Amino acid sequence: MAVLVGKKAPSFSAPAVINGNQVVEDFSLDQFIGKHPVVFFFYPKDFTFVCPSELHAFQAKLAEFEARGAKVVACSTDTPESHWGWLQVPKAKGGIEGVTYPIVADVTKTISEAFGVLAGEYDFDMDGNLIATGPMIAYRGLFLIDKEGTVMHQLVNNFPLGRNVDEALRMVDALQFFEENGEVCPANWSKGEAGMKATFEGVAEYLSAN
């Protein structure tokens, strides 16, 4: 599994459903470079069980991400038609109606593979095409990408383990605190707390005050 932290996020162009009902054919994270940080998260499959709880949880916090200038984008290996269909199903019936952030359709599995979260048995043929010998879906990967397109935070969970959306929001806060103040964020840091200078003197000062 690839570690992308400190590297440029893989570029892609793929179909996506935006605003809960509109299919676009050439969605890309490149549109946010120079403008917005991005929380890009993968989930295994439409019409499943843990997945809608995560998608709704991100939607519930979407205004808080947007208040920080951050964009939230989801992705799975389902088709755009599957995404669209699931978006029409009410929450009470296991659907994700009401989710408005983009959901990318990684039908070719190449986005999941590039981000290092593709599960299942697969290989590449002589022409470089990805070929499957079993089901291929994405682990619960999450990537925080800064305005310059660099991955700053990476988290990958196995299928049964749902993520903490508040922690994703905390990571956005930590990134922005560092960018604005040049100070680093110690253990359990949260927005509104002091950071520390990345020097021995700064660490000693912080520890003595805490």
Q: Which residues are catalytic?
A: 51
Provide CB contacts within 8 A for 201, sequence distance 6+.
Answer: none
Provide CB contacts within 8 A for 147, sequence distance 6+.
Answer: 32, 33, 34, 35, 36, 37
Q: Where are the alpha helices (DSSP H) in 29-164?
A: 50-60, 62-67, 80-87, 110-114
Tell me the pairing of strands 14-18 and 71-76: unpaired
- Kindly list the distances between the CA atom of residue 2 and the CA atoms of 17, 114, 185, in Å, as whole numbers in the listed order: 27, 8, 25
- Quote the CA–CA distance of 185 and 196 in Å, as a whole number: 6
Nearest to 78 by CA among 87, 67, 90: 87
